[in-house]
Amino acid sequence: MGAVTPVPGQPWVVVDNIGTLVTNDPAAGTGPLGVIHDAAVVLGDGIVQWVGPRSRLPGGGADTRYDLGGRAALPGFVDSHAHLVFYGDRAEEFTARVSGVPYRAGGIRATVAATRAATNAELGANTARLVAEALRSGTTTIECKSGYGQTVADELRSLAIAAACTDETTLLAAHVTPPEFEGRTDEYVQMVCEWMIPVCAPHARWVDVFCEAGAFDADQSRAVLEAGVAAGLTPRVHGNQLGPGPGVRLAVELGAASVDHVTYATDADVEALAAGDTVATLLPGADFCTRGRYPDARALLDAGVTVALASDCNPGTSYTTSIPFAIALAVRELRMSPDEAVWAATAGGAAALRRNDIGSIRVGMRADLIALDAPSHLYLAYRPGVPLVREVWTEGRLR
Ligand code: NIG
Ligand code: FE
């Protein structure tokens, strides 16, 4: 999942006989998803070399032909929010929650203890297992946060493990106050700003903070994000997950790439997002697993906010890597149309990661393509829970 690298000797492949192709390029096909029927795509040297109706496919352009038999294809999913570097599980906490115990941010500490106790090999294997699982359900780019280490050394090794799987690494040292700083959150924030961020920044692309009652308030969150920016990182924010709060507006004010959850957004929050260029990343898997309410995606979309969908895969609130599941929830519970949900999980995720080389199928884009065992992308919502992703190409390579 790294940058585009031409692969010497890798045959070019024409993915042919695509019944319905989502390009996310409105100029290439119909509607905002740029849908082309009876399409073909040529993948070569890691990028898209040609895309269009198969009736116009140039002859002799590829070494291998892969026939989809009229099935659907779309860009690989871009999962812009995941916490994959952890150890252990919280199945008992989940079971208690489904019988009525509410979710609290403090549960994160159980995973912090298990993560600190794990070896590098155990942590690396668990992270790689989840990345492979995500790939099987069509995720071709995944962001990966630290945040279950919470010492300089444990955050540093978390980022190194994340970097072995993805370029999209995020320092989330300010996830919750660790036990040794109990009652001294300001001192922990100072330690994060003065030690963790400078030491860890060379190993991360993003800085994130859990801006929420029970985690970090507006001033503490601002301090963390500004220290991250000073160290060369770009901010993203966990905001307004468990209740209304300052997270959304802080993210917009600081020019964060994304604010994530946005479950409790006020009208003022929606207006701020519409006026800024921060993406709202919705994580319906977390709302499902915490039995919380769902965000008002319609208010965001109708206001013109760019919306992404991501998994939030983590052992506490959303132990799923499945973007098809997020799409099904977005359609059923967030009242997004199937087209809006598919866009949010592909081009929306790319926007949330400020990437212009992924999330759509155009000439020159990274050759990350998935094919479904279905005639169209609408089936992702129409057939919930069914593993419809049959083929996955990353950088032109069938996985
Ligand atoms: O995005 N909100 C903060 N972080 C995670 C939960 C982490 C946990 O409970 O372990 C989230 O939902
Ligand atoms: Fe999260």
Based on the domain organization, do 127 and 191 belong to the same domain? yes
Residue-range definition of the domain harbouring residue 313: 78-353
What share of the chain in percent tops pLDDT 90?
Answer: 93
- Is ligand 1 within 6 A of the CB of residue 316? yes
Distance of CA 312 from the midpoint of ligand 2 (Å): 5
pLDDT band at 10 (very low <50, low <70, confident <90, very high): confident
Report residue 137 as tokens: 């359900």
User: Residue 153: CB partners within 8 Å, gap ≥ 6?
Assistant: none
State residue 125 phi and psi, 5-degree precision: -65, -40
First to last CA, the chain: 12
pLDDT band at 106 (very low <50, low <70, confident <90, very high): confident
- How do strand 72-75 and strand 13-21 relate by DSSP bridges? parallel
Residue 312 assigned ligand-binding role: yes
Report if residue 3 sits inside a domain: no
Distance of CA 71 from the midpoint of ligand 2 (Å): 34
Place of tokens 């799409």: 327
Mutation probe of ligand 1 site: the residue of 108, 259, 281, 290 with most atoms within 8 A of C-beta: 108
Residue 90 assigned ligand-binding role: yes
Point out which residues pair with 236 in neighbouring strands: 208
Distance of CA 384 from the midpoint of ligand 2 (Å): 23
- How do strand 144-145 and strand 169-174 relate by DSSP bridges? parallel
Ligand nearest to the CA of 314: 1
pLDDT band at 7 (very low <50, low <70, confident <90, very high): low
Based on the domain organization, do 204 and 262 belong to the same domain? yes
**What's the CATH code of the domain at 348?**
3.20.20.140
pLDDT score for 186: 98
Point out which residues pair with 75 in neighbouring strands: 369
* 79-134-365-277 Cα dihedral, nearest 10 degrees: 0
Report if residue 293 sits inside a domain: yes
Rounded to whole angstroms, how far apart are CA atoms 328 and 162? Answer: 28
* 289-314-90-132 Cα dihedral, nearest 10 degrees: 110
Closest CA to 46 of 388, 379, 367: 367
- Is ligand 1 within 6 A of the CB of residue 108? yes
pLDDT score for 3: 47
> pTM, whole model, 2 decimals?
0.96
* pLDDT tens per residue, range 77-103: 999 999 999 999 999 999 999 898 988
Chain-centre distance of CA 86, in angstroms?
A: 17
Sign of CA dihedral 328, 240, 172, 158: negative
User: Residue 320: CB partners within 8 Å, gap ≥ 6?
Assistant: 285, 289, 311, 313
Distance of CA 361 from the midpoint of ligand 2 (Å): 28
Report if residue 27 sits inside a domain: yes
- Is ligand 1 within 6 A of the CB of residue 107? yes
Residue pair 363/42 in contact (Cβ under 8 Å)? The answer is no
Total domains present in the chain: 2
pLDDT at 107 over 90: no
Name the region of 4 (left: φ>0; alpha: ψ -120 to 50; beta: rest). beta
Based on the domain organization, do 224 and 270 belong to the same domain? yes
Point out which residues pair with 398 in neighbouring strands: 393
Residue pair 26/18 in contact (Cβ under 8 Å)? The answer is no
pLDDT band at 1 (very low <50, low <70, confident <90, very high): very low
- Ligand 1 atom 9: the closest Cα is on which residue? 316
Mutation probe of ligand 1 site: the residue of 172, 291, 314, 319 with most atoms within 8 A of C-beta: 314
pLDDT at 2 over 60: no
What share of the chain in percent tops pLDDT 70?
Answer: 97
Based on the domain organization, do 302 and 394 belong to the same domain? no
Based on the domain organization, do 141 and 282 belong to the same domain? yes
Can you tell me whether residue 31 is helix, strand or coil? coil
Residue 34 assigned ligand-binding role: no
Based on the domain organization, do 193 and 57 belong to the same domain? no
* pLDDT tens per residue, range 174-221: 999 999 999 999 999 999 999 999 999 999 999 999 999 999 999 999
Mutation probe of ligand 1 site: the residue of 294, 312, 313, 318 with most atoms within 8 A of C-beta: 312
Report residue 397 as tokens: 């390579």
pLDDT band at 250 (very low <50, low <70, confident <90, very high): very high
Ligand nearest to the CA of 103: 1
Based on the domain organization, do 333 and 366 belong to the same domain? no
Rounded to whole angstroms, how far apart are CA atoms 302 and 136? Answer: 33
Rounded to whole angstroms, how far apart are CA atoms 207 and 258? Answer: 11
ipTM confidence:
0.95
Report residue 42 as tokens: 């040529």
Report if residue 8 sits inside a domain: no
Residue 175 assigned ligand-binding role: yes
